[in-house]
């Protein structure tokens, strides 16, 4: 192996190892409106907890807050993507309503809450 080939080999090896161990993060924003499933009206002051993580540890990242007077919620947070991106889901709750938990990685534009 020539000196030039050896340098190229080590350069490629370093780039490969570096890309394997490089951390990757992404800025994620979720937004949706919460409505009453019976009256079809928006619901204000719904507590929202968006959770993100992997391997059954969903407290790594996320956001919390309340819907505004129009039932709208938006929140942003960082998620890690090294060795696979985080899974994300949302929980919505308000006294008098059943708690809603979204499907993993599938948060709809409209979340419907039903009375207890």
If pLDDT is split at 50, 70 and 90, which confidence band does 52 have? confident
Give the pLDDT confidence of 67-104 residue by residue, as tens digits: 999 999 999 887 766 566 777 889 999 999 999 999 87
Amino acid 5: pLDDT: 64
What are the residues facing 74 on neighbouring strands? 31
Give the pLDDT confidence of 55-68 residue by residue, as tens digits: 776 676 778 999 99
68 in a structural domain: yes
Gap between the Cα atoms of 79 and 85, Å rounded: 7
49 in a structural domain: yes
12 in a structural domain: no
pLDDT exceeds cutoff 90 at 2: no
Return the CATH number at 78: 2.60.40.10
Of the candidates 16, 19, 23, 18, the residue with the CA atom closest to the CA atom of residue 82: 23
Amino acid 73: pLDDT: 96
State which residues form the domain around 47. Answer: 24-113
51 in a structural domain: yes
Angle CA(80)–CA(86)–CA(89) in degrees, nearest 5? 135
Amino acid 40: pLDDT: 97
50 in a structural domain: yes
Q: How many domains does the chain have?
A: 1
Give the pLDDT confidence of 3-43 residue by residue, as tens digits: 666 666 666 555 555 444 455 667 788 999 999 999 999 99
69 in a structural domain: yes
77 in a structural domain: yes
pLDDT exceeds cutoff 80 at 50: yes
44 in a structural domain: yes
């Amino acid at each position: 192996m020539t000196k030039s080939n050896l340098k190229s080999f080590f350069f490629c090896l370093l780039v490969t190892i570096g890309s394997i161990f490089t951390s990757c993060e992404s800025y994620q924003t979720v937004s949706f409106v919460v409505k009453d499933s019976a009256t079809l009206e928006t619901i204000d002051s719904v507590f929202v907890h968006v959770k993100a993580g992997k391997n059954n540890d969903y407290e790594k990242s996320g956001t919390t807050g309340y819907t505004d007077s129009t039932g709208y919620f938006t929140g942003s947070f960082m998620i890690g993507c090294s060795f696979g991106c985080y899974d994300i889901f949302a929980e919505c709750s308000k006294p008098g309503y059943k708690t809603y938990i979204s499907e993993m990685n599938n948060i709809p534009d409209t979340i419907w809450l039903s009375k207890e």
